[in-house]
Structure 1
């Protein structure tokens, strides 16, 4: 697990290939900032899954949890052409959530891990690393 400080999210097991970055704002504000950054960079927000909202509608409780799916169709297609199975991991996704202590995190799959998983050349893996720049705009 990679984090932006010594301790990662409270109540989470270490998982290989996963990056956690702390957000300075609420889950809702983080999603808004990420959405804005994606659109400003020419990317496309494909979906936002509100897991906690859906849980509440089903009569269950879940910590504030949303998943944002995004990409750039013209760029992503080159990666999927090079390795069709990257479609399993595209569009890029960022989990925005609160941990056991109420700290807000942006969690995503490490671009280098994804690149290795799909045996991509550096230029083919470019779309996978877009997530790092977006996260930096929020943090």
Structure 2
């Protein structure tokens, strides 16, 4: 369970970390887009899951997935473990709970290392999602 704005890591078997924010999904997405631009990180796309659900006549709380990265960080990881390309570029899921709270979730970089077997010294290359999520959640 996520309490307040505290970051709580989910179990390592899930490999997902989550933090809460008092900002709306759209506010978080705008903050992330600005931060990525400031940091020179490419935003590949923003998948609007809830928008697509609505277009199909279905309803779901606001849910958007931002896919972003920097080849300088991801390429060495994929060279060491090509299967890591399944989980790259980095992603942050921004979603509204049924109670109207906003959650940001991302893959734990240590879990990704365990999943794909790349060297420990490359784990920091994948830490940006958590750093960015915590920053924009404030």
TM-score by length of 2: 0.87
Task: Check whether the contact 1:111–1:129 (CA below 8 A) recurs between aligned residues.
Answer: yes
Task: Check whether the contact 1:45–1:68 (CA below 8 A) recurs between aligned residues.
Answer: yes
Counterparts of residues 90-105 of structure 1 (less than 5 Å): 90-105=88-103
What secondary structure is seen at the aligned counterpart in 2 of 1:61?
coil
Task: Check whether the contact 2:8–2:18 (CA below 8 A) recurs between aligned residues.
Answer: no
1:71 aligns with one of 69, 72, 75 = 69
1:38 aligns with one of 36, 56, 81 = 36
Moved over 4 A (4+): 1-4
Partner residue in 2 for 1:11: none
What secondary structure is seen at the aligned counterpart in 1 of 2:29?
helix
Tell me the matched-pair count.
134
RMSD: 2.4
Partner residue in 1 for 2:105: 107
Deviations 1:16-43 (A, max 9, x none): 2111101221000101111111121121
**Cα distance, 1:2 vs structure 2:** 7.7
Partner residue in 1 for 2:27: 29
Partner residue in 1 for 2:116: 118
Contiguous gaps of at least 5 residues in structure 1: 9-14
Task: Check whether the contact 1:2–1:19 (CA below 8 A) recurs between aligned residues.
Answer: no
Q: For residues 6 and 45 of structure 1, do their structure 2 counterparts lie closer, same or farther at Cα, with a shift above 3 Å needed?
A: closer
Distance 1:72 1:45 in 2: 9
